[in-house]
């Protein structure tokens, strides 16, 4: 199966800040895919890799178009540089939309937190919540004025539901204060890892249940232990496969002749998830909740490894 079946042609782009540009694409072949707030797609890069970008429900966007926001990173390995070099008429390949950051059903209120380019999925959430008539507040934080993209669009979408915060002045985000009345709300956060961890901890301290705390970080987590070899046992057959220090579980299983279902190989799509019968995983994905990781009952075998000498997997 083609991991990037969509062909997208650049219709327009705008420099939203000196470092962030928005791009509007038309779909070259077929129909525009349906998606909901929180969804992302992966754009194929010339080097054979790809990068995830959240879809944005920008005001006035035509029904037959898709919009992305891209930060040009100083330490880019090529993804953001490629996206910032695209011109009108250029065509890229992309995956179909995937949503691991979906809004809750029902009428419960929402508290949205975004830092910098983390606003891209949150903007779409604000658009959907406004349309659904759900009570919400969006806290949008950045280092200083002039560096936050999409503020005019957000003021149009959110009106009085938007609070903007700058680290450089008295408007600096006070997470505890923002979470003061969040006990019955769903909390969503996207941004730098430090912000995500602070909002998660603050929400738990404010008595928000863990299943109402939602976050997204498009980056593999820092390994919690050095890579070392370990063994994987296939429960259904008893076959034991060795996984080398520089090898993923999927690579080891394929080298042993096994057919494994997977897609992103970055720990953010969930397709390769499998059950753990015995052993302790070293979780390195961004999909599982803290409770799921602590249970040691499931893992993403594309990026996660083992703390124990052997894992027995439900394969």
Question: Which domains does the chain carry?
Answer: 6-94 (2.40.30.10), 110-216 (3.40.50.80), 230-313 (3.10.20.30)
Q: What is residue 305's predicted lDDT score, i.e. its pLDDT?
A: 92
Distance CA 66, CA 24 (A): 6
Closest CA to 79 of 65, 89, 68: 68
Does residue 239 surpass a pLDDT of 70? yes
pLDDT in tens, 200-225: 999 999 999 989 999 987 554 344 44
pLDDT in tens, 148-178: 999 999 999 999 999 999 988 889 999 999 9
Q: What is residue 76's predicted lDDT score, i.e. its pLDDT?
A: 54
Region 277-296: mean pLDDT is: 84
Q: What is residue 113's predicted lDDT score, i.e. its pLDDT?
A: 96
Q: Is 6 left (phi over 0), alpha (psi -120 to 50) or beta?
A: beta
């Amino acid at each position: 199966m083609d991991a990037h079946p969509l062909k997208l042609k650049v219709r327009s782009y705008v420099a939203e800040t000196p470092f962030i540009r928005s791009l509007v694409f038309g779909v070259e072949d077929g129909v525009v895919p349906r998606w909901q707030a929180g969804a992302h797609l992966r754009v194929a890069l010339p080097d054979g890799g790809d990068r995830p970008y959240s879809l944005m429900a920008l005001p006035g966007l035509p029904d037959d178009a898709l919009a992305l926001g891209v930060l040009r990173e100083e330490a880019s390995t090529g993804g953001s540089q490629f996206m910032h070099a695209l011109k009108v008429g250029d065509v890229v390949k992309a995956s179909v939309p995937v949503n691991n950051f979906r809004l809750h059903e029902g009428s419960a209120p929402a508290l949205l937190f975004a830092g910098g380019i983390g606003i891209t999925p949150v903007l779409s959430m604000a658009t959907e919540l406004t349309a659904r008539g759900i009570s919400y507040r969006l806290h949008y934080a950045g280092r200083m004025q002039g560096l936050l993209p999409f503020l005019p669009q957000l003021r149009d979408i959110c009106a009085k539901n938007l609070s903007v915060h700058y680290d450089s002045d008295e408007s600096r985000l006070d997470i505890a204060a923002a979470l003061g009345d969040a006990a019955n709300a769903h909390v969503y956060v996207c941004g730098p890892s430090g912000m995500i961890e602070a909002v998660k901890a603050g929400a738990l301290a404010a008595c928000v249940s863990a299943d109402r705390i939602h976050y997204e970080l498009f980056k593999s987590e820092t390994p919690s232990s050095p890579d070392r070899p370990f063994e994987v046992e296939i429960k259904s057959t008893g076959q034991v496969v060795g996984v080398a220090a520089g090898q993923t579980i999927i690579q080891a299983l394929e080298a042993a002749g096994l057919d494994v279902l997977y897609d992103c190989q970055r720990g953010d799509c969930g397709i390769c998830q499998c059950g753990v019968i015995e052993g302790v995983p070293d979780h390195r994905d961004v999909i599982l909740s803290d409770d799921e990781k602590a249970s040691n009952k499931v893992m993403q075998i594309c990026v996660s490894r083992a703390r124990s000498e052997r894992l027995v997997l439900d394969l």
